[in-house]
Amino acid sequence: MTGSGLSVIQVRYGERVTRKSDVLHEYQQYGQPDGDLQMDYNFWVIRAPGTTILLDTGYDISARDWLGEISVMPTPDGLELLGIDPESVDMVITSHFHYDHIGYLGLFTNARVVSGRAEYDYWFRKWRNEDLDGEFTVAEHLEAVKKAEADGRLRLIGTQEEVYPGVIVHPVGGHCPGELIAEVYSASGPRILAADAAHFYEQVENEWPFFAFTSLTEMKAALSFINKLAAATGAEVIPGHDGRVRDTHPALPGPAGRIATVIG
């Protein structure tokens, strides 16, 4: 599928600095020194001629202080800088329903929305049961999923599926029950956009789980699956929150380079 004409950019809308011991599950067991991690908050733009797809949407950092994130550029401003009209976006793939991934889903009123079926079932059940307190998901953000469903724009994925030529989503679970990763065949080669199935390179390299999960077993299996898929396809794995991605990939030319990194 290499050479399909797809391009991928990563768009950074927020950031914070954290510690390995704070975000990697039981990090002390590995006997490794602690250290800072630059944690970027991103969404991804996948483009083909005449088609724009987003993986995740970011959220309004100014509206709610979750974990001390610092705004780099709000999603609406970032899209404007990139010349993307939200109403022209064809598809939004939601890796999962946490606040920092679907907070701006409501902007994309014409887009087909691709989500994990297990993700939908889990969070909508919690919403019906008034059990969202203390979670990284709020009813306000789920309303956008509900609106897409009412409009007939919601597509729920329960197994591996090619949702656009050269874009394959895989439900892996772990961090959330319906966590999705995207296997994308860009013009320069395959990429695995891991989103929160692997936040950092350390998780990919060592298969170390993140501190937040709905199933530790599924999270470990997801990390193993990512590595097996990468080995089988020759794909580069792009962890979802690692600031070091920007060290190894070029910025988009021009003013948009402040927020946008060329992935493939």
Cα→Cα distances 90→110, 111, 237, Å: 7, 5, 25
Strand partners, 164: 167
What pLDDT does residue 3 have?
A: 47
> Over 90: is that where the pLDDT of 18 sits?
yes
Where are the chain's structural domains?
Answer: 7-165+243-262
What does residue 54 show for φ and ψ, rounded to 5 degrees?
-110, 140
Sole residue written with tokens 């079932």: 121
pLDDT band at 102 (very low <50, low <70, confident <90, very high): very high
In this structure, CATH architecture of domain 7-165+243-262: 4-Layer Sandwich (3.60)
Count the neighbouring beta carbons within 10 Å of the beta carbon of residue 70. Answer: 10
pLDDT of residue 199: 98
- The pTM of the full predicted model, rounded to 2 decimals, is 0.97
**Average pLDDT score over the chain:** 97
State yes or no: pLDDT of 90 exceeds 70: yes
**Which pLDDT score, from 0 to 100, does residue 5 have?**
82
Question: Structure tokens of 176?
Answer: 């959330």
Query: What confidence score (pLDDT) does residue 8 get?
Result: 98
- Per-residue pLDDT of 214-232, as tens digits, reads 999 999 999 999 999 999 9
Average pLDDT over residues 84-89: 98
CB 163 within 8 A of CB 155: yes
Q: Would the pLDDT of 207 be above 50?
A: yes
